[in-house]
Amino acid sequence: MTTTDGPGTATRALQARWDAVMMRNYGTPPVALSRGSGARVWDVDGREYLDLIGGIAVSSLGHAHPAVVEAVSRQVATLAHSSNLAMHEPGVALAERLSALVPGGARVFLSQDGATANEAALKIVRKHMQGRRTEVVSTEGGFHGRTLGALSVTGTPAKRAPFEPLPGPVTFVRYADVEALRAAVTERTAAVVLEPVQGEGGVVVPPAGYLAAVREICDAAGAMLVVDEVQSGIGRAGEWLLSVAQGVVPDVITLAKGLGGGLPIGAVLATGEAASVLQPGDHGSTFGGNPVSCAAALAVLDTIEREGLLEHVRALGDRWAASFDAIEDRLLVAHRGLGLWRALELGAPVAPALEAAAREAGFLVNAVRPTTIRLAPPLVLGPADADRFSAALPGLLGAVA
């Protein structure tokens, strides 16, 4: 890894160009990447980093994986786009593969990303209830996207406030609080929308049995269950679908992020009555299910299966957890997570400073909250690289204490 002392000349030049033309919604990124290979990336100044955030849990096979490169190159040279006016083999094959992940099968809608998948899910709920029920229950700290519908069920008031009024009504309850959810779900509730583990909330893992309790509450009230697996799905937590692995079959599951291995794609998997709600003209997407993105997604699924990456993710996640357990530093007050989806909880709001210190030491991590560092590296991360970060962590903590 390359230790840095701040942005280099080429990075600063690109930052100046960014500032001149880009909207302000992201601020100015501190790093400018030019290429990647596996779990490593290089910036425009040639500095090397171990990528432990993976484009926010997206680069499931890392960077420039041969299977993705070959699949995308072959597809873009054959058929790059079709719109929704024609079908194509990669799209049908991907839908077949995703349907098979759900017991009893599912019908599939292919979207562009997680937010558009969640928008489609909310439309399924709205149409299924036909105005009989309009209320939705979601969770505090949850995140479902930035579009208006997805934002309406995102449990962070500061994200919602600038864009209100939003679609609703939506009631928010404390995450992982079964009794609070039971009290909130009534005969007026159309659906409960939540994540099996909160990603943007800081990789918050609920107690065992929580999702099964949510399913039972929904069934008792006649409400639909929408589970957002945009971050948790397709291997991130060591399972294809975390909900299904826990014995729960939601009415609707949404996917994105790691599904495309870096190419933009999302998916909605609907079961039971929900599978037949959308009829011709109800919904669509010009770019959703693009042949190139579908080819990438098929390569991701094939590679995870062929290389045994679900087992690898679980084993390496346990190895990381054990190494974090061994760190004796008062600043590191806790760690949590599943598979290669981890959070380091700090005893002071210094996560941004720790992110910067890690970057200077050659590690890309994510300060997802003032006291929380999120780790979501490529699923192909090796033990040696995982150990390298664990070994460096005490020094990084000391630098920002």
Rounded CA-CA distance 250/8 in Å is 48
| Residue 393 β-bridge partners | none
Interacting residues of 48 by C-beta distance below 8 A, sequence separation 6+? 1, 2, 40, 41, 42, 362
User: pLDDT band at residue 7, thresholds of 50, 70 and 90?
Assistant: confident
pLDDT at 397 over 90: yes
What is the side-by-side strand order in the sheet with 363-364? Answer: 33-37, 40-43, 48-51, 363-364
Half-sphere exposure of 342 (CA within 13 A, CB side): 26
CATH fold of 94-306 reads Aspartate Aminotransferase; domain 2 (3.40.640)
To the nearest whole number, what is the mean pLDDT of the chain? Answer: 97
pLDDT at 6 over 90: no
Backbone angles phi, psi at 222, to 5 degrees: 75, 25
User: Residue type at 100?
Assistant: A
Query: pLDDT per residue over 100-139, tens digit each?
Result: 999 999 999 999 999 999 999 999 999 999 889 999 999 9
pLDDT at 147 over 80: yes
Q: What does 67-111 look like in DSSP terms, one character per residue?
A: HHHHHHHHHHTT----GGGS--HHHHHHHHHHHTTSTT--EEEEE
Query: pLDDT per residue over 343-371, tens digit each?
Result: 999 999 999 999 999 999 999 999 999 99
**Domain-wise residue ranges, the chain:** 94-306
Query: pLDDT per residue over 218-268, tens digit each?
Result: 999 999 999 999 999 999 999 999 999 999 999 999 999 999 999 999 999
With CA atoms as reference, report the closest residue to 364 among 61, 59, 40, 45: 40
What is the side-by-side strand order in the sheet with 372-375? Answer: 332-338, 341-346, 372-375, 366-369
Q: What are the residue ranges of helices labelled H in 231-308?
A: 242-245, 291-306
Hey, CA dihedral for 216, 219, 223, 227, is it positive or negative?
Answer: positive
Rounded CA-CA distance 257/210 in Å is 24
Q: Is the peptide bond before 169 cis (omega within 30 degrees of 0)?
A: yes
Pull the structure tokens for residue 217: 């509450």
Rounded CA-CA distance 37/22 in Å is 27
What's residue 4's pLDDT? 54
Q: Specify whether the CB–CB gap between 252 and 81 falls below 8 A.
A: no
pLDDT at 3 over 60: no
Of all residues in the chain, what percent carry a pLDDT higher than 90?
Answer: 97
Rounded CA-CA distance 193/155 in Å is 11
Pull the structure tokens for residue 328: 């004796």
DSSP secondary-structure letter at 56?
H
Query: pLDDT per residue over 24-80, tens digit each?
Result: 999 999 999 999 999 999 999 999 999 999 999 999 999 999 999 999 999 999 999
Rounded CA-CA distance 30/26 in Å is 11
pLDDT at 1 over 60: no
What's residue 170's pLDDT? 98
With CA atoms as reference, report the closest residue to 277 among 106, 96, 104: 106
Place of tokens 């049908």: 92
